Amino acid sequence: MELGDLEQLQASFRHEAADLLIDLGGALLQLEQEPLNAEVVNRVFRAMHTLKGSGASAGFRRLANFVHHVEEVFNRIRNQQLQSTPELIDATLKACDCCEMLLELGSTASDTPLPLEIEVLAAIRPFLPEMDKATGKTQPAKMASGPARYKIGFRPNREIFFSGTDPASLLLELTDLGEIEIRCDTADLLHADEFDPEKCYLCWEVCVETKQPEDAVRAVFLFVEDDCEVSIEREEPAASARTESKNKDARFRDAAEQCFTALGFALEQCQSGDEKQGLGTAHRAAQTLISAGKAHGHAGATAAAGEILAAILVVQQGGILDAGWLLNVRLLIEAARIAVGAPAAAPTAISSQLAPTKAAEAPPAPEAATGAAAASIRVDAVKLDALMRLAGELLVARGALPAFAERVELIAREESPKSMAKEMRDAGAKVSRLADDLQATVMSIRMMPVRQVFQRFPRLVRDLARNLDKNIELHVSGEETELDKTVIDRIGDPLTHIIRNAADHGIESKADRAQKGKSAVGRIDLSAYTRGSTVVIEVKDDGKGLDPAKLKRRAVEKGLLSESAVAAMDEEAAFKIILVAGFSTVDKVTDVSGRGVGMDVVRNGVEALHGAVHIKSEIGKGTRFRIELPASLLVSKAIRVAVSGHEVVLPIDTIRNMVKIPKSVVRTVQGQQIAPVRGTVFPMLWLAHALSFGRMEERRAELAVAIIEAASGPYGLVVDHFLGEVEIVVKPLNGVLAKVPEYVGAAIMGDGKTVLVVNTERLFSLQRSAAVTQNDPPVALPH
C-alpha cells in the first residue's frame, strides 16, 4: 500500500471508529438498564469486533489488541458464561475513552501503556478466565496442558469486499492468538477469464498454534462464515520447543529474504525511472521487514530495516533520488542481510559504479492528522445525486449562453430587440434558478442532525449522577433536527456546561427531593426543534430553580455589579446574571463546578454563533434554558438599509415587521424613547446613534422602523430607508472590527461592495447596558 493510501485509510478508519464508539457508548448505557437483553449484548460485541478488525487493517494494532481484551469479556457474556454488571459497564465505558486516546496517538504510537489503559485492563481482569501478567493476553483456565494447533481453510466469497470486510483483517486477527503460518493459494486468480479488481480471487491455508480454545479461533470468522468457506481442524502441536524455535527461525529468514528480494526489485524500478512505483515497493518491503523483526524479537534486523525505511522516507518527503542515494540504500540492505544472517547478495553493476554517500537522517513517518477528521462530512447519497444533477443542468444552461450570443450577432438586424431581451432574461432566470437550487442543495449537505451532539450527554449525565450521588434521568427529543456543521461543531461545549450546571446546582440531593415530596429521580429534558429559520435547543430540569433576589445579592457581594445596576433589572435580566464571567452561587469549588467559568462559556459560545440564550425559572419547580441558533452561518437573507449616508444590512431572521410610522407619535418616558406600532408600544433605537454614524435625516415626517425580535425583548430600530431584500454570505470580521459587538460580520454585495452586518440581536441590549452601567465597574453583562 502506498504511503498516501495508508494515510487515507487511517483517516477513514478514524471516522468509522468515532461512529462505532458513539454507538458502543449508547449500547452500553442501554445494557446497563437491560442487562439480560441479548440483542444489546450482540450490538456491543459487533461494535467491538468491527473496531478491532478495521483497526488492525488500518494499522492501529495497539488499538486492536486493546479492544481484543474487552471483546473477550463480552464474548463470554454473549455465550452466557458471564452476566453484565454495573462494574463491567463502568470499565467498558472507560475502555471507550481509552480507545479515543489510542486513536489520537495513531498507528505508530510507542508501546508504553497509558494509565487509563492499565486501569481498564486491571478492571476487566476479574471477568476473564485468566490473563498472562507479562503479556496481558487472555488465556483460558482449562488449557494448562499446552498449546493446540489448528489448520484453517479460508476461501472468501468473491464479493466479500462489497460487504465491507477485508480478508487481510481476519488473518491479522489470527496473529493475536499465537504463532501462525500462512499459505496463499492464487490458483483462482491465474485461471480467471476476466479479472475484476473489486473481487477476491485468493484463498488461504493457515496453521495457528495457540493456547486459546477453539471457540476463540472460530470467533475470528464469526461474521463471514455464512458467506465464505471456512474449515477449522485441530492438529498435533510441534514435537518440542527446539523444533518450534527452529521452525520460527526458518520462517523469519524466509520472510526476510522475500523482503530483500522486493527491495532489490524496487531499486531496479527506481534506477529505470519508475521512481514512484519503486519507492512504494521499497516502503512496503521495509515496513514488512520491521514487522517481521519485531515479531521474531530480532532487534538487529528491526533496527537495520528502520534505517532503510528512514532513507526511503527522505525521498518520499521531497528529497532527491540520485546515484548516491541508490548506493546508500544498497549498503543499508547489505547491512540488514548481515544482521539477519542471510547470505550476501551478488554484486551488481550499480554498486560498482557509484561512490558511497552518507545516509541522510529522516524524520519519522508522518501520521495522518487527526484534525482532518473534523473537517470532513459524511454525505447522504441522495443529496450527492441531487448535487450532480444540478451541476449538469447548470453546465447545459451555461453552454446555451455562447450560442445565444452568436445568434444575436447573426440576426440582430432582423429581429426585434425586445424579443432578444426577453430571451436573454429567460436564460438568465434559468441560470439563477439553478444557482438557487445548487445553493440550497449544498446547504443541505452541510446540515447535520443534532443527534451527533446529543449522543454524548447520556454518558455525561450518568457519570455526573454517580459522582454527585444523585438519581438523574436524561430525556432526549428532537435528535433529527438539523443544524449547519459549523454550529454542530461548536454548540457542544455550551450544552455540556448547561447540563453539568443543571445536574450539580439544579437537581436536588436525594434527601432534599424526598423532603419536598418530589420524585426520587431528577429529570433533565434536552430537546431541539425548528422555528422558522431558527433552531431552538432547550435544556430543562425539575430542580430547585433560581432565586432572582439571591442572584442579585450574590452579584453585589462579588463586586460584579453595583446595587443600582441590580435594582434596575427585571426578573429575566436577573436570571442572566449566572452567565456573567466569575459568577457562582456556591462557596466550595468541586470537580464539577464552582469556579464561575462554565456559564460564561455558554454566553460567549452562543453569541459567537449569532444566537441568543433565554432563561426562565421558578423556585422549587426548575429552570429552562432556551438557546436560539441560526440554522446556518453561511448564507442568509437580509434587509439592506440606508442610514446617515451609509449602507448596512440587517439579518432578516430577527425582523418581525417593517413599517413606517409618523414621527410625531414618538415619546420619551424616563429617558427612553417609545412609540406605538399597530397597537403595541415598543422602545425605539436610532440606528445612526447606535453605530455612531452621526445624525439621521430629520426633515422626514415618517420614520422607517424595523421591529426587531431580540433576546432582551422586541424593540423598534429606526433607519433612513429600506433598500430591499438580499441574500448574503456572512464573513467573520478580523482585526479591530472583530472586537466591535455591534456587528456580526461583513458581506459582499453583487456589485462588489462590502457592507457590514448589524448585530440586531444585541444592539439594543448593548445600548441599554451602556446606560445602566455607566458608573458601575466595567463588566460585560449577558444579553
Q: What percent of the chain has pLDDT over 70?
A: 78
Could you tell me which CATH number the domain at 3-140 has?
Answer: 1.20.120.160
Q: Answer yes or no: is pLDDT of 351 > 80.
A: no
Residue 192 pLDDT greater than 60, yes or no: yes
pLDDT at 592 over 80: no
pLDDT at 41 over 80: yes
What b/e string do you get for 30-42 counting C-beta neighbours within 10 Å, with b at 16 or more?
bbbeebeeeebbe
Instruction: Summarize the confidence of residues 570-577 as an average pLDDT.
Output: 83
pLDDT tens-digit map of 99-122 = 988 888 765 555 677 888 888 888
Among residues 475, 498, 504, the alpha carbon closest in space to that of 624 is found at 498
* pLDDT over threshold 70, residue 603: yes
| pLDDT attached to residue 406 | 65
| Three-state SS at 150 | strand
Domain 247-360's class?
Answer: mainly alpha
Residues 6+ apart with CB under 8 A from 539: 495, 498, 499, 502, 524, 525, 526, 624, 625, 627
Dump pLDDT digits (tens) for 605-638: 887 787 888 899 999 999 999 998 877 766 677 8
Please give the residue that has the higher pLDDT: either 767 or 49.
49
CATH code reported for the domain at 451-630: 3.30.565.10
- What confidence category does residue 242 fall into, taking pLDDT thresholds of 50, 70 and 90? very low
pLDDT in tens, 474-484: 999 999 998 88
pLDDT at residue 657 tops 70: yes
Q: Which fold has domain 635-773?
A: OB fold (Dihydrolipoamide Acetyltransferase, E2P) (2.40.50)
Model confidence pLDDT, tens digit, residues 260-298: 888 888 888 888 777 887 888 888 888 888 877 877 778
CA-wise closest residue to 301 among 330, 332, 339, 255: 339
pLDDT of residue 475: 94
Is residue 345 scored above 60 in pLDDT?
no
Give the pLDDT confidence score for residue 342 in this predicted structure: 63
CA distances from 124 to 95, 128, 326 (A): 10, 7, 51
d(CA 337, CA 342): 5
- Residue pLDDT, tens place only, 402-443: 666 666 666 655 655 666 667 777 777 777 777 777 777 777
Q: Calculate mean pLDDT across residues 582-591.
A: 61
Q: How many residues does the chain have?
A: 783
Looking at residue 779, what is its pLDDT?
A: 38
Higher pLDDT, 162 or 590: 162
Residue 559, Cβ density class (10 Å: 0-12 exposed, 13-18 middle, ≥19 buried): exposed
Instruction: Pick the closest to residue 102 from 74, 49, 66 (CA basis).
Output: 66
For β-strands 534-541 and 522-531, DSSP reports them as antiparallel
**Model confidence at 593, in pLDDT bands (50, 70, 90)?**
low
Band of residue 392 on the pLDDT scale cut at 50, 70, 90: low
Diameter over CA atoms, the chain: 108
What CATH number labels 148-242? Answer: 3.30.70.260
